Amino acid sequence: MNDRLPATCIPPAGDLIEAPQGVSMSQYRPRRSMLYIPACVPRFLDKGRELRVDSLILDLEESVLVERKAEARRNTVAALQAGGYGHREVVVRVNRHDSAWGLDDLTAIAPLKPDAILFPRIESRQDVLAAIAALDQAGGERIPVMVMLETPMAVLRAEEIAGASDRLICLVMGTSDLTNELHARITPERLPILYSLSHCLLAARAHGLPIVDGVHLDMKDMTSFEYACRMARDLGYDGKTVLHPLQIQYANDAFTPRAESVARARKIIAAFAEANAEGRGVTVVDGRLVETLHVEAARRTLLIHDLIVKMEAADGIC
């Protein structure tokens, strides 16, 4: 992984990565990388069982032609029945609940209890509630829900959407559709969508939700992809959706705490405990002031580190 973009553009690879402010850490799970898999291609569904990815999104929506919707649905049912995805979170992106295929998707998928259902094109609180009602009607009352923010209206109503239901476990940015509907251009520094990314992040954090960045369309330029991952990480995002297996390692790398960050987190916690024992509410570590908020950040860092280690060890990756 090379830093070939100007140094002023690329966040340093070794920066401390923290779990997001406001997220319920008792329910937190790593989503450093979330790979979209077109469900119309069975061999891709099979390949997902071998990849070092945190989450798989079995896609029935955008990547599937209209004439292949039923086929993709059958493939997804077969894949869920076969299982074998190990530690990987298995999410199904269905077609919009009020589309010609949405209810059939939910009826077929809900009984198989995937880890979550991802609803696209959500633009309001009412959309969230209607989608969940359709899922419940199909027998998925206990299935967690993710929603995509991919339109200008969704961005403007992000706070309303994030607070719509306690069934929501994650927000997923749809930056390609958003960029198109903004009439914006895709640029290396991503300035045209910076406000949207920041606004949706605020909404997620205000309601204690994780949020994952959108895809990077250039699957050959790993330098620009690496930059996009680090930018999202530095903004406060929890991970990145990816289109190709080659992108997975870059996303995982960007959102994984470095060894030096883990060591510093432990040092901060120990130093603060010692200061508290001596009756002090602040301390100094390596010349930098440490307060309670820094200890909270350090604990999040250690929790994410531990979760990643346990998750990968359980599947024989480490």
Mean pLDDT within 68-96 = 97
Q: Is the pLDDT of residue 19 over 50?
A: no
Amino acid, res. 307: L
Provide the mean pLDDT of the chain: 91
Integer CA distances (angstroms), 71 to 40, 42, 215, in order: 6, 10, 25
**The predicted structure's pLDDT at residue 2:** 40
By CB neighbour count within 10 A (0-12 exposed, 13-18 middle, 19+ buried), where does 287 fall? exposed
Q: What's the pTM value of the predicted model, to 2 decimals?
A: 0.88
**The predicted structure's pLDDT at residue 27:** 62
Contact 217, 176 (CB under 8 A): yes
What is the percent of the chain where pLDDT is above 90?
83
- Please state the domain extents for the chain: 25-254, 259-314
Q: Is the pLDDT of residue 228 over 70?
A: yes
Q: Is the pLDDT of residue 11 over 60?
A: no
Rounded Cα distance between 1 and 225, Å, is: 10
For residue 179, give the H/E element and its range.
helix 175-181
For residue 241, give the H/E element and its range.
strand 239-242
Residues 63-79: b if buried by 16+ CB within 10 A, e if exposed: bbeeebbbebbebbbeb
Please, which residues have CB within 8 angstroms of residue 67's CB and are 6 or more apart in sequence?
Answer: none
Q: Is the pLDDT of residue 85 over 90?
A: yes
pLDDT tens string 59-69: 999 999 999 99
What is the percent of the chain where pLDDT is above 70?
90
Q: Is the pLDDT of residue 309 over 60?
A: yes
Does 22 or 131 have the greater pLDDT score?
131
Pick the CATH number of 25-254 from 3.20.20.60, 3.30.1180.20, 3.40.50.10860, 1.10.10.10: 3.20.20.60
Residues 127-155: b if buried by 16+ CB within 10 A, e if exposed: bbebbbebbeebebeebbbbbbbbbebbb
Q: Is the pLDDT of residue 315 over 70?
A: no
Please, which residues have CB within 8 angstroms of residue 252's CB and are 6 or more apart in sequence?
Answer: 32, 33, 52, 53, 54
Contact 106, 140 (CB under 8 A): yes
Mean pLDDT within 221-248 = 96
Q: Is the pLDDT of residue 9 over 60?
A: no
- What sign has the CA pseudo-torsion 220, 226, 228, 233? positive
**The predicted structure's pLDDT at residue 263:** 93
Q: Is the pLDDT of residue 260 over 80?
A: yes
**The predicted structure's pLDDT at residue 6:** 33
Tell me the DSSP string of 109-168.
HGGG--SEEEE-S--SHHHHHHHHHHHHHTT-TT--EEEEE-SHHHHHTHHHHHTS-TTE
Please, which residues have CB within 8 angstroms of residue 209's CB and are 6 or more apart in sequence?
Answer: 23, 162, 168, 169, 170, 171
